[in-house]
Amino acid sequence: MPTEQTGNDTRRAEILACGLKVLIEKGWRGTSMIAVAREASASKETLYNWFGDKAGFFGAMIRDNASALDRALPEDFGAMPLEDGLRAFGAELLRLMTGEASVALNRAAIAEAGGDPVLGRILVAEGKAKSLPKFAGWLARHMELGDSMEAAEKFVVLVKGEVQLERLFGVTEPLSEAEITARVDRAVRDFLKLYA
């Protein structure tokens, strides 16, 4: 029997998905709490009670998007051998970073950066600042590294290359699974040359 909390979690996820849809369609400036409420068939009061304001809602979308990486990794990720784990993490990271949701969230943060960098701060604090230390910890358990955070950052750079920027600029389409596999294989090979 579903609990009230489960129902709220489901409804919250639905509202976040509607907010992301509005953000993708209208951009940050065209996204309002009223537009999200309308798209989600929710009251503005519910949105303000659950998320505070537009920046709070943005933070919730980022947290939800960033947690997709953890949800997408295989259950046995922590116990995977080094190369398998690097491939699994790299592929999920690349899917996340070049996916519609991340592109829309990053574009919103960039659009506001000149006037008010609060969205960029939220993006860094809720995205990279939470996921990178977890990955660095996993690396440290699998390799003898002087600085696992630096190694984690290098791996991320090798995985994403320029493709994230190209997606943000709208000059390339989403990657196919074959392209993701090829990019990640190259990144793993190059990373192991640096650190193994």
User: Do 37 and 46 form a contact (C-beta atoms < 8 A)?
Assistant: yes
The CATH topology of domain 58-195 is: Tetracycline Repressor; domain 2 (1.10.357)
- Least confident span in 2-6, 14-18, 135-139, 161-165: 2-6
Half-sphere exposure at residue 3, Cβ-oriented, CA atoms within 13 angstroms? 3
Position 33 scores a pLDDT of 94
Is it true that 1-52 and 58-195 share their CATH fold? no
Sequential DSSP letters for 66-134:
HHHHHHHS-TTGGGS-HHHHHHHHHHHHHHHHHSHHHHHHHHHHHHHHTT-THHHHHHIIIIIHHHHHH
Rg, the chain, Cα only? 18
* Domain-wise residue ranges, the chain: 1-52, 58-195
CATH second-level architecture of 1-52? Orthogonal Bundle (1.10)
Q: Which residue has the higher pLDDT, 176 or 145?
A: 176
CB atoms within 10 A of CB 68: 16
Instruction: Return d(Cα 123, Cα 128) in angstroms, integer.
Output: 8
Instruction: Return d(Cα 106, Cα 164) in angstroms, integer.
Output: 10
* Per-residue pLDDT reduced to its tens digit, 60-102: 998 888 888 888 888 888 889 999 999 999 999 999 999 999 9
Position 196 scores a pLDDT of 80
User: Do 26 and 54 form a contact (C-beta atoms < 8 A)?
Assistant: no
